[in-house]
Structure 1
Amino acid sequence: MRHNPERRTALLDAAIEVLAREGSRGLTLRAVDAEAGVPTGTASNYFANRAQLLVQILHRTRERIAPDPADLPAPLDAKVLLMLLLERMRRERSVHIAMLELRLEGIRRPELQAEVAAFQGAELEANIAWHLESGLPGDRQGVLLLYFAMLGLIVEDLTVPAMLEAYPVAGVIDAMVERLLPESPAQ
């Protein structure tokens, strides 16, 4: 297996685009090569098989959507953070669609579902811990409920954005934060 990190990253980014555009059935090593503009067979030099590629895509999505701590507003505000999350999702739409495709593929591949569940579970726990340690309002249960509500909002925005036109997203986020995280943040 090849170990050029820049090439691996470029191949994973190409794989994310293919997965988002073509779905799981369209994701082949050959399609990744074509998307990346590299010679046929290049992806197979980096990924032993499609299953390995799927797992590495999962981890690359995290790298692409993780916020830079320097970009976080000061002072921290839950409503602003959620709007920033939604804006990042819209900028990195293909990454989020690829994540949905990985979740769907996991329904048919128990080993991938286990990987996605472990990955997402660790991410959720890290986000809850960060939220609570940051002095933002709410308790563990409120943050968990907010996570699942926000996930639903993101799925709607990705899949049927026209449906959300009747519901101003900023107002929905304001209501979610007010109802699920009612305490005032520590000053």
Structure 2
Amino acid sequence: MPPPNPQRRDHLADAAITVLAERGSRGLTHRAVDTAAAVPAGTASRYFRTRDALLDGVIERITHRLGERVDSYTVRPISPADLEEALVGVLTTMLSDRHDPLALFELHLESTRNPRLRRVLTGALHSRSDLLVRQCRAAGIDIGEDAAMLLEMSVLGILFTALTTGVPESPSEPIRTAVRALLARTG
């Protein structure tokens, strides 16, 4: 049997994100991922042996994609104004590609009944706030993990409300307000 292919693993994780976002936590199965990824039956279970491994793969992929988006919006050196635009751009983009935040919210809800998943999500939350701390420091803004975590939680709340109720109709301004509040508080 050939070794696992990293691109195929990413493709399967992307398909799992789609399944999770469109069908919810109960709809996430290895078979559903195989179908969504248009791969032979059993492929997802080869790369993600258990459902927990599949959930971990989704969290890892969302965190990785968010990091790539932040990196693609930022250039070195970055000014505080450019950082604000980059953060607002990345976070607002999550509304147009709804799969990542919807899948993430499904995982957060499932974690209320799954302590292992809660630990994995907590680790991913810290990874995302560490990314924010690094980006802020690259722009000459010294922030701590608590401030970064506050922004993360604020934006998740804005995204959750916007995706589930449609309020606010245009969430980019509340997102910008949250980002500005962080940068002003620490700048």
1:83 maps onto 2:85 in alignment: no
Ranges in structure 2 where 5+ consecutive residues have no aligned partner: none
Equivalent residue number for residue 156 of structure 1: 161
1:41 maps onto 2:42 in alignment: yes
The Cα shift of 1:15 comes to 0.5
The Cα shift of 1:70 comes to 4.5
Rounded to whole Å, the distance in 1 between the matches of 2:102 and 2:52 is 18
Letter in 2 for 1:158: L
Rounded to whole Å, the distance in 1 between the matches of 2:186 and 2:28 is 46
Equivalent residue number for residue 97 of structure 2: 92
| Structure label with greater radius of gyration | 1
Rounded to whole Å, the distance in 1 between the matches of 2:19 and 2:61 is 14
1:134 maps onto 2:139 in alignment: yes
Gap change, CA 1:129 and 1:33, over 3 Å in 2: same
Rounded to whole Å, the distance in 2 between the matches of 1:179 and 1:55 is 32
Contact 1:83 1:173 in 2 (8 A): yes
Letter in 1 for 2:74: L
Q: Where does 1:1-187 land on structure 2 (aligned, <5 Å)? A: 3-66=4-67, 67=69, 69-72=71-74, 74-77=78-81, 78-136=83-141, 139-140=143-144, 142-161=147-166, 163-165=167-169, 169-182=171-184
| Percent of residue pairs bearing the same amino acid type | 34
Letter in 1 for 2:25: S
How many pairs align? 181
User: C-alpha offsets along residues 88-139 of structure 1, whole Å, 9 cap, x if unaligned?
Assistant: 2123310111111111111111111111112212321332243144224x74
Rounded to whole Å, the distance in 2 between the matches of 1:93 and 1:8 is 21
Contact 1:146 1:176 in 2 (8 A): yes
- If the length of structure 1 is used for normalisation, what is the TM-score? 0.81
User: C-alpha offsets along residues 33-89 of structure 1, whole Å, 9 cap, x if unaligned?
Assistant: 111111221211211111111011110112222225343265332542332123321
Rounded to whole Å, the distance in 1 between the matches of 2:6 and 2:182 is 42
Gap change, CA 1:30 and 1:121, over 3 Å in 2: same
Ranges in structure 1 where 5+ consecutive residues have no aligned partner: none
Rounded to whole Å, the distance in 2 between the matches of 1:43 and 1:28 is 9
Rounded to whole Å, the distance in 1 between the matches of 2:177 and 2:45 is 48
Letter in 1 for 2:21: A
Gap change, CA 1:46 and 1:72, over 3 Å in 2: same
Contact 1:33 1:39 in 2 (8 A): yes
